[in-house]
Homo-oligomer: A and B are copies of this chain.
Amino acid sequence: MSEKNRQILLASRPKGEVTPADFRLVEAEIPAIGPGEVLVRNHFLSLDPYMRGRMDDAKSYAASQPLDEVMIGGTAGEVVESRNPEFAVGDRVMGMLGWQLYGKDDGRMIRKVDTSRVPLSAYLGAVGMPGVTAWYGLNRIIAPKAGETVVVSAASGAVGSVVGQLARRKGCRVVGVAGGAQKCAIVVDEYGFDACVDYKAGQLYADLRAATPDGIDGYFDNVGGATLDAVLRRMNAFGRIAVCGLISSYDGQPMLLQNFRSVLVNRLRVEGFIVSEHMEVWPEALRELGTLVATGELKYRETIAQGLENAPEAFIGLLKGRNVGKQLVRLIAP
């Protein structure tokens, strides 16, 4: 190939908020593949909040993203060269090839996906890591019963929107928390939540109380901070809280909780989890999610930035909640 590869590297570790200067766009050779390897042209990058944690060098559950290397991340694309009998040119594949146009793999970190009934991009969202994250936290930690009330924060996002729809299918009252009237309208009208609390409206606890007349039995937490604190005040006895993300403090702010006492008073179970540590559920979860998306029973939205060079701004927007649904970057012509 005569074309060049293009890549975005992590140039510096953010001090507090992420800025465009923390990234650098470079050109590189398209990698040559050896025996057993596959070359993939990425069509979509997945942007996800967990990436913020990787940009720090603090102790965390995952290795830091090294400086001056291609930003990590999930990708969906097309095989353009193959020396691996399992993959043919034209196959659509998921992988973790990072923020670049082309990546290669030995076939162990990519998998073929069927795009006949589910669009390729959905494998980065509702039928991918975010969907399985929702599935695991809801089914394995919250494990709600019909009639219970389940609350989810970042409810219009890639994870939260799936949590709510799955909980609704189990017969729960489902209440979202999201930022702004527009997002709340989507959560209720499009995803079918029973109610949505706009945390930007300035009366989070009062609105949450009104939306959860019978208290809260399960909380899927994507944000931490003031929302978690308000939810703790509304929890019922033997409630379960799945801690999936704490996006409100990813920039290193201390997170002050005032209502931890509820954990004792209400005998709560609070559990943090990372979906990549529960690979055993992926096949079952992806099968269920794939069917629901293919039949139109599970709705999702995407916010798509166009072009590799716009990935940093899109990622910063994601951290600020500017996206609706799954934040993607498209690397091919729309």
Q: Is A27 an interface residue (CB 8 A)?
A: no
Q: Mark A204-248, 1 if CB is under 8 A from B, else 0.
A: 000000000000000000001000100000000100000111100
Asked if residues A265 and B224 are in contact (CB atoms below 8 Å), the reply is no
Q: Is A270 an interface residue (CB 8 A)?
A: yes
Q: Mark A65-94, 1 if CB is under 8 A from B, else 0.
A: 000000000000000000000000000000
Q: What B residues does A265 contact at CB under 8 A?
A: 53, 59-61, 272
Interface stretch among A124-132, A149-157, A254-262, A283-291? A254-262
Asked if residues A264 and B245 are in contact (CB atoms below 8 Å), the reply is yes
Q: How far is the CA of A237 from the CA of B257 in the complex (A)?
A: 22
Q: What B residues does A264 contact at CB under 8 A?
A: 61, 224, 243-246, 272
Q: Is A24 an interface residue (CB 8 A)?
A: no
Q: In residues 269-326 of chain A, which contact B (Cβ within 8 Å)?
A: 269-274, 277
Asked if residues A61 and B266 are in contact (CB atoms below 8 Å), the reply is yes
CB distance from A124 to the nearest CB of B (A): 22
Q: What B residues does A270 contact at CB under 8 A?
A: 263, 268-271
Copy count, this protein chain: 2
Q: What B residues does A255 contact at CB under 8 A?
A: 257-258, 260-261
Q: Is A115 an interface residue (CB 8 A)?
A: no
Asked if residues B224 and A260 are in contact (CB atoms below 8 Å), the reply is yes
Q: Is A111 an interface residue (CB 8 A)?
A: no
Q: How far is the CA of A277 from the CA of B53 in the complex (A)?
A: 39
CB distance from A279 to the nearest CB of B (A): 14
Interface size bracket, A side: 20 to 34
Q: Is A249 an interface residue (CB 8 A)?
A: yes
CB distance from A143 to the nearest CB of B (A): 14
Q: Is A169 an interface residue (CB 8 A)?
A: no
Asked if residues A258 and B256 are in contact (CB atoms below 8 Å), the reply is yes
Q: What B residues does A272 contact at CB under 8 A?
A: 263-269
Q: What B residues does A267 contact at CB under 8 A?
A: 61, 271-274, 277
Q: What B residues does A254 contact at CB under 8 A?
A: 258
Asked if residues B261 and A246 are in contact (CB atoms below 8 Å), the reply is yes
CB distance from A52 to the nearest CB of B (A): 12
Binding site for B on A (CB under 8 A): 53, 59-61, 224, 228, 237, 243-246, 249, 254-258, 260-261, 263-274, 277
